[in-house]
Structure 1
Amino acid sequence: MDRPITKEEVIEACKWSGDGHITNQSSTMPKKFGTNTKSAEARAKKEAVKIADKVKKEKEAEDALWNDDDKHIARKQQRKEERDKKKTEQLEKKAVLKQMYDEEMNSIKAAKTRAEKVTRADIAALGERQQKAQKDPEELLLHEKPLEENINRVVVEGEEARTVDEAIAVLSVKDGPADRHPERRAKAAYDAFEKQKLPELKAENPNLRLSQLKQMIRKDWMKSPENPLNQIQAGRF
């Protein structure tokens, strides 16, 4: 049976180190005393550094993730603003086009209304002229279709002549020989008469048509002393 180790043997086997820890001086002596405090502190510091690095990396990764999310949000917001802006521009264009269309339609309606008013006014004026013409034959004559020119019609003592030759024949029964070319003289006289009267009547009646003005000239010619037939008839009587 082994004997117990004495105190002296323990002291002799172990020596105290300068940092207060017992150092094993014998390779055969087992470690039966406490943990090395310095080594524990070093391990603790090392572990703390590792944990801090891990926490830092995790925080950086989380921050990077948030930054990516912020970029996506910013891009989404930008796209939304662009869509809203485009939609607003389209609505503005539609509003402008609608306004232009409405203005054009209003202009067309106004022009149509004016045309209808003028047409109705013309119809009313025409009706008034027709009613007046029924009372005034001369007015009716001005607005009717011009008659075929017949400036040489004359009636003498119940006999009627519609041409210059007939008129000369009627008027020269008792007066002897007449002009050899009376139709030329009558035509030339009428042309001169029309040339003189047309500007005057046109100035006095600017709204009348040329055919109406010529109708008035023919009426005046029938009574004019410049008409050779009137001259012949006046000489007859």
Structure 2
Amino acid sequence: MSSKKFGINTKSAEARARKDAVKESSNRDKQQKLEDEYWRDDDKQIQKKQQRKDERDQKDHEKLQRKQELAKLVEQEEAALTASKAKAKSDLAPKKVTQAQIQQRQAAAATSTIPNRNIEFFDYHLSIINLILEPKRTTIDDIPLEENINRLQIDGASARNVDDAVHVLRSTEASVDTHPEKRMKAAYETFENENLPKLKQEHPTLRLSQLKQLLKKEWMKSPDNPFNKPTKAYNELGNSKQYNLPEEKDSDNDD
């Protein structure tokens, strides 16, 4: 008997083994896919939640990056500001003066003909303070002169004694109106006849009563008013009276 009948063909055995391995691997992949498909979550709400969570995480990450960038910029600006302040302080700091420079300035000040302004300013203010603190001296010109009461002068006439004073007072009584109330009504009527037409032209929209009120105001200041002239007071005679303008009836309907 030949060896082929009772022996094993190694090549065919290897090929069969490879084929079985490929088949087994394919079966495992299919089984894994089935298991993954079975356990896969198809809930759409959970997927949306996960998506929102991922978006929030991304935003937080971006915000953190921006904060870090801003903090870095602030640090850079503070460092630059500190450096500029230090430089300005060093520029403003007084420079060291050598002894030779001090001696040179002293020699220039000693030989200079320009006066020291600080000393002049101090002397000027000191003189003002001395003037303020110095007691005021009263001279004869500063004393006001009192009026001579032994001499009386009325309207240009002078009197040195009692008789002269009585004569002067009596002479002035002639020009004093002792009874202005007797001429009051007639004087006012004349004043009204002369000035009321003028007021009507100046104030055409006013009523007659309003015009007469304006007329009375002008009458109180008018030189034609007897009471605006020198009068002799009635209280000197023990008879005090008050005189008013003549009463007038309102005629608002008159033109």
TM-score with structure 2 setting the length:
0.26
* TM-score (normalised: structure 1): 0.28
| Structure number with bigger Rg | 1
Higher relative contact order (CA 8 A, sep 6+): 2
